[in-house]
A and B are shown apart, each in its own frame.
Chain A
Amino acid sequence: MSERYTDKEMMALAAGRLVKDGDVLFAGTGLSMLAATVARRVHAPRAVVFFETGGIDPSLEELPLAVADPRVMVGTAMNSGLIDAFSLLAHRRLNTIAFLGAAQIDPYGNINSTCLGDYHHPKVRFPGCGGACDAASLAAGVILFMQHDRRRFVEKVDYVSSVGWLTGGDSRRRAGLKRGGPIAVVTNLGVLRFDDESKRMYLAEHYPGVTPQEVAEHTGFALDIGRGQEAAPPSQRELDTLRQEVDPDRLILGPPPA
């Protein structure tokens, strides 16, 4: 029997597997930091990480808890500021891949990190789009993290903080965005991708022990599950790297498997 693992571990590893060697990763905090770090250590040693705050290719000996954490400023190729970071994000020579999370997502990967309910009288206010709007607009690709829940996967988000494929098809290009768009959504149940033509979300991978029907039941809009394959479970090397090297204090991973 293979080793047990948690949802968060599987999410970090599933996202890490999407990183290609040589990618330039725009990372936030939380799971994106784990995904980027584990990818570098397992299969993409030439991938580099930078932060919107201006920390470029840090050593990440200790896990940062915020993008302004002093831990993103150590062992870097260079330390700079926001203007410099945004010039990397949009750089035409670089395959910049951004990791983003949100409170709500729609079938075309548009995300909301601003509010629930009416913008002027919100039921719940969130922090705001920060640099996610910029990454979603300007990066060469976006990988999204979401908890899989019908209230989060909704037909229409309450506020489009950061654009995905807008209304699908070529609407993103027509809006004036020259490149980019979401590549995948990594959840606690599986990995969703976007149809090449329609740009609508479909189930690409469900994790071991999760059925495609379960994924559909946890999604608040009609989801194509016909293309879903079972994801490979974490390898021992992936798990060891994640647990022993990347987040040994489990600051982001949280409690170990029961």
Chain B
Amino acid sequence: MKVGEGLGDKLMSPGEAVGRLVKDGDLVALGGFTVSRNPMLLVREIIRQGIKDLHLAVHSQGQALDLLVGAGCVSRLELAYAGTGRFAPTAIRFRRAVEQGQLQVEDYSNQHMSLRFLAGALGLPFMPCRSGLGSDVLNKQGFDPGLRGQGHIPPHKAIVSQNPFSREEDPVVLLPALTPDVTLLHAQYVGDDGTVRIKGLTFLDLEQARAASRVIVSCEEIVPAAHLRADPDQNSLPPFLVDAVVHAPYGAHPTACPYFYDYDPRHLSLYRQQAQSDQAFGEYLRQWVMDLPGQEAYLAQVGIEDIMRIKANSVLGYAPGLDRR
């Protein structure tokens, strides 16, 4: 039996997965975190298919968010943070889009977004917390008030309420649940039954997947399910939560995929340069997204030298001594 055959209809090409499961106007959650495990291959496919008017919901996202925003696929964004650490302390196309008023943005904190996805996963309408009391994250609304209660936008950004279990004054923040239409993740392993195994930190990927109506997982390797089920403590998501599996070696490049490859400092620096101007960014999109039919062509363009440079040490999970200047 060929590896992946057991997945049946769930095993899809990037084009099939995105074409069938991502629609114009969808509320989309992106997994990963700043420079790690961004679902880059899936995002490039969304851009190639010209999907528009997306409503993105993320905690701290970097490269995938910036590429989607820069390509004009996003109309509304709920986020805590947009950047890639030292490579782009503020995600560059995101910054430009916000400063030019091209994007409706609502700011939350990382804990807020975490609890909102967790509420969605648990089937709860809201979740309480104390983070942000007294701050403008709660005092200021980003979305046009006229949009509140429409589409995927809850009627209130957040509500500060009295803790019903306390006799003393005790304000708590109530946050509306998030239930994405589709969550996009990149994992290291998927079993040929659909079991997902994420190595390293899982960030918020599991809650984002559990909260979603549809889940697309791209992965470095599809492996026999028996291998994953022999050590189930290591597994992250059960097969029945996964709607599509895309075999995507280096599918998170230029962000890292622990134990497979590090982030690519040269590509992230190249991106930083090209993202500065509309013209150069257009060239980046043409060269690295539109004109490349598939992952093989993309990787050929990255080149064997950089592929080898970022190859992770299989014990440490990153590329020791990688030149990151």
A residues whose Cβ falls under 8 Å from a Cβ of B: 29-30, 52-55, 61-62, 65-74, 79-83, 86, 90, 110, 114-115, 119-134, 136-138, 159-163, 166, 171-172, 175-178, 249, 251-252
Main secondary structure of the interface of B (DSSP, over half): loop
The one of A53, A129, A176 in contact with B137, judged by C-beta atoms closer than 8 angstroms, is A129
A29/B59 contact (C-beta < 8 A), A53-B33, A125-B99, A163-B134 known: no
Asked if B107 lies at the interface with its beta carbon under 8 angstroms from chain A, I say yes
Most chain A CB neighbours (cut-off 10 Å) among B35, B90, B91, B131 = B131
Residues from chain B with a CB closer than 8 A to the CB of A130 are 60, 80-81, 109-110
> Quick check: which of B222-230, B242-250, B271-279, B311-319 contacts chain A, the rest being far away?
B311-319
> Can you list 13 A-B contacts (CB < 8 A)?
A54-B203, A62-B320, A67-B34, A71-B318, A74-B316, A80-B202, A129-B110, A133-B111, A134-B112, A160-B135, A176-B170, A176-B172, A177-B134
Q: How far is the CA of A126 from the CA of B263 in the complex (A)?
A: 22
Q: Is the CB of B262 within 8 A of A70?
A: yes
Select B312's contact among A70, A119, A178, beta carbons within 8 Å: A70
Chain B residues with Cβ under 8 A from A83's Cβ?
A: 114, 118, 204, 207
Contact pattern, B 34-59, Cβ under 8 Å of A = 1, otherwise 0: 11100000000000000000000001
How many inter-chain residue pairs (CB < 8 Å) link A and B? 208
Hey, which chain B residues are within 8 Å of A162, CB to CB?
A: 135
With a CB–CB cut-off of 8 A, which chain B residues contact A171?
134
Known: A131-B80, A133-B135, A160-B136. A70 touches B86 (CB 8 A): no
Q: With A66-B35, A251-B325 given, is the CB distance from A137 to B80 under 8 Å?
A: no
Q: How far is B35's CA from A29's CA once the two chains are assembled, in angstroms?
A: 12
Q: Whole-angstrom distance between the alpha carbons of A67 and B109 in the complex?
A: 15
When distances are taken between beta carbons in the complex, the residues of chain B under 8 Å from A120 are 142
Q: Are A133 and B84 in contact (CB under 8 A)?
A: no
Q: Which residue of A lies closest to B170 (CB)?
A: A176
- Name which of A114, A123, A137 has the most chain B CB atoms within 10 A of its CB: A137
B164 in the interface, Cβ–Cβ < 8 Å? no
Q: Is A129 touching B81 in the complex (CB atoms < 8 A)?
A: yes
Task: Report if A133-B131 is in contact (Cβ < 8 Å); known contacts: A70-B318, A126-B90.
Answer: yes
A74 and B317 contact, CB distance less than 8 A: yes
B110 to chain A, nearest CB (A): 4
Contact B33 A67 (CB under 8 A): yes
Q: How far is the CB of B233 from chain A (nearest CB, A)?
A: 12
A residues less than 8 Å from B133 (CB atoms): 137, 163, 175-177
Contacts of B325 in A (CB 8 A): 249, 251
Q: A82-B59, A122-B99, A161-B137 are known contacts. Are A69 and B35 too (CB-CB below 8 A)? A: yes
Instruction: Please report the total number of B residues contacting A with Cβ < 8 Å.
Output: 66
Known: A70-B312, A137-B131, A166-B134. 12 other contacts (CB 8 A): A62-B320, A70-B317, A81-B206, A82-B204, A83-B114, A127-B82, A130-B81, A131-B80, A134-B131, A161-B135, A163-B132, A175-B171
Chain A residue nearest to B169 (CB atoms) is A176
Q: Closest B-chain residue to A124, C-beta based?
A: B99
Q: Which residues of B contact A119 (CB under 8 A)?
A: 136, 140, 142
Please tell me if B83 contacts chain A, counting CB pairs below 8 Å.
yes
A131 to B137, CA, bound (A): 12
> Are A81 and B136 touching (Cβ within 8 A)?
no
Say yes or no for B217: interface residue by CB 8 A criterion. Answer: no
Contact of B107 among A74, A110, A114, A136 (CB under 8 A): A114
Q: Contacts A29-B85, A73-B317 hold; do A160 and B134 have CB atoms under 8 A apart?
A: yes
Which of B90, B203, B318 has a CB less than 8 Å from the CB of A74? B318
Residues 64-122 of B at the A interface (beta carbon under 8 Å): 79-87, 89-91, 94-95, 98-99, 101, 107, 109-112, 114, 118
Cβ distance A215 to chain B, nearest Cβ, rounded Å: 26
